[in-house]
């Protein structure tokens, strides 16, 4: 039997609010994260950790496309660099990582930055605002140290509210590990509406509708109001190019993750839809029935 590696994460809420300034740490790791919204930038810059060198991530919305966007950077003084970014309007949240033993050199942080950019592009969850990226050569032992630093960063970011590096489709090893506790994540689910077909995978964050899936052109009567959430969600996906018209239907041009099975189903049928009844596995068993079966087993 494989051993599952367990990790203890500590998140300190400085104001008791999980959306405000937060400090993140992991047991037996020398790294440390400071995260907070843009409105807390003054408090973020006053943190003693901001005086040191490290890497940072700014997230927000691309004003041109309306899609979620991120900027990844490195600095020998986080405080100085973040002050320079105040002029950038797109971001509304910041997180930076430093080492508690202050052993991150310029070469280390440049290497970390380049690896973070590669991971973010591979995951494809956010548009990267970076124009250029740096790189640095490190000794083999330092590369191993930075690989460990990156793994801890990846563990700490989701609890801090950022899934920038989480791939929409997990790797074979990650999927195998997840499926030890949840077989649902290993299945391809299908959904049909009239003559339209769609496929999806269940993830820890919701549901990924797969590229090539179809969606109805017309909304249902209940969702034709301009302010209805389904109407607005579909409009955003059309504008960003995720949904493209073929004349008879919309086609998903890429894999797209929704926050819930019902949100995914609603976009496909053009109106409110119970996603746990809509999505069925290859044996035509609904997601709802499978979840109830797992609970009762």
Sequence-ordered list of residues with C-beta below 8 angstroms from that of 239, at least 6 positions apart, any chain = 65, 66
Please tell me the predicted confidence (pLDDT) of residue 239: 86
The pLDDT > 70 percentage for the chain reads 90
Question: Residue 171 has what pLDDT?
Answer: 43
89 and 180 fall within a common domain:
no
Has residue 230 been placed in a domain?
Answer: yes
Per-residue pLDDT of 93-128, as tens digits, reads: 999 999 998 889 999 999 999 999 999 988 888 888
Q: Which of 119, 136, 160 is the last residue of a domain?
A: 160
List the one residue out of 247, 187, 239, 249 whose CA is nearest residue 213: 249
170 in a structural domain: no
Where among 160, 191, 206 does a domain terminate? Answer: 160
Residues 121 and 186 reside in one and the same domain: no
- Model confidence over 147-165: pLDDT tens digits? 999 999 999 999 998 888 9
pTM beyond 0.85: no
- Closest Cα to residue 69, out of 19, 124, 24, 29? 124
Contact between 208 and 201 under an 8 Å Cβ cutoff? The reply is: yes
What pLDDT shows up at residue 133? Answer: 65
At 207, phi and psi to the nearest 5?
A: -140, 135
Do 184 and 151 belong together in one domain? Answer: no
Q: Are 153 and 197 members of one domain?
A: no
How many helices and strands in the chain, by DSSP H and E? Answer: 9, 14
Cα–Cα distance measured from residue 206 to residue 223, given in angstroms and rounded to the nearest whole number:
22
Segment 27-58, tens digit of pLDDT: 989 999 999 999 999 999 999 999 999 999 99
Domain finish residue from 160, 186, 220: 160
Tell whether 103 is covered by a domain. yes
Cα–Cα distance measured from residue 227 to residue 27, given in angstroms and rounded to the nearest whole number: 46
Number of compact structural domains in the chain: 2
Q: Are 201 and 210 in contact (CB under 8 A)?
A: yes
Tell me, yes or no, whether 130 and 201 share the same domain.
Answer: no
Residues 107 and 185 reside in one and the same domain: no
Q: Per the domain annotation, does 121 fall within a domain?
A: yes
- Domain span holding position 216: 175-296
Instruction: Identify whether the C-beta of residue 145 lies closer than 8 Å to the C-beta of residue 101.
Output: no
Identify the pLDDT of residue 257: 87
1 located within any domain: no
63 and 154: one domain?
yes
Q: What is the pLDDT of residue 182?
A: 52
Same domain, 136 and 185: no
Task: Give a yes or no: residue 168 inside a domain.
Answer: no
Residue 119, in any domain of the structure? yes
Question: Pairing mode, if any, of strands 68-75 and 127-128?
Answer: parallel
Same domain (yes/no): 142, 179: no
Low-confidence ranges of the chain (pLDDT < 70): 1-5, 65, 131-134, 169-182, 295-297
Question: Is residue 81 within 8 Å of 41, Cβ to Cβ?
Answer: no
Asked if residue 264 and residue 150 are part of one domain, the reply reads: no
DSSP 211: T
Q: Domain for residue 3, yes or no?
A: no
């Amino acid at each position: 039997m494989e051993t599952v590696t367990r990790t203890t994460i500590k998140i300190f809420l400085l104001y008791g609010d999980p959306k405000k300034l937060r400090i993140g740490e992991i047991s037996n790791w020398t790294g440390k994260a400071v995260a907070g919204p843009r409105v807390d930038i003054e408090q973020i810059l006053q943190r003693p950790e901001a005086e040191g060198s490290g890497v940072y991530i700014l997230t927000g919305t691309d004003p041109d496309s309306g899609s979620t966007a991120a900027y990844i950077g490195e600095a020998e003084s986080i405080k100085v660099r973040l002050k320079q970014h105040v002029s950038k309007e797109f971001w509304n949240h910041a997180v930076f990582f430093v080492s508690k033993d202050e052993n991150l050199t310029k070469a280390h942080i440049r290497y970390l930055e380049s690896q973070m950019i590669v991971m973010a592009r591979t995951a494809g969850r956010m548009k990267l605002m970076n124009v250029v990226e740096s790189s640095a050569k490190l000794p083999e032992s330092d590369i191993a140290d930075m690989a460990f630093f990156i793994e801890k960063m990846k563990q700490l970011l989701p609890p801090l509210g950022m899934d920038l590096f989480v791939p929409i489709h997990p790797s074979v090893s990650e999927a195998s590990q997840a499926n030890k506790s949840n077989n649902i994540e290993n299945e391809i689910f299908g959904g049909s509406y009239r003559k339209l077909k769609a496929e999806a995978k269940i993830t820890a964050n919701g549901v990924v509708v797969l590229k090539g899936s179809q969606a109805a052109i017309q909304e249902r009567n209940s969702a034709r109001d301009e302010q209805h959430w389904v109407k607005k969600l579909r409009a955003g996906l059309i504008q960003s190019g995720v949904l493209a018209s073929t004349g008879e239907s919309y086609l998903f041009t890429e894999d797209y993750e929704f926050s819930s099975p019902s949100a995914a189903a609603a976009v496909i049928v053009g109106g409110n839809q119970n996603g746990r009844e809509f999505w069925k596995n290859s044996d035509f068993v609904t997601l709802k029935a499978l979840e109830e079966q797992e609970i009762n087993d």
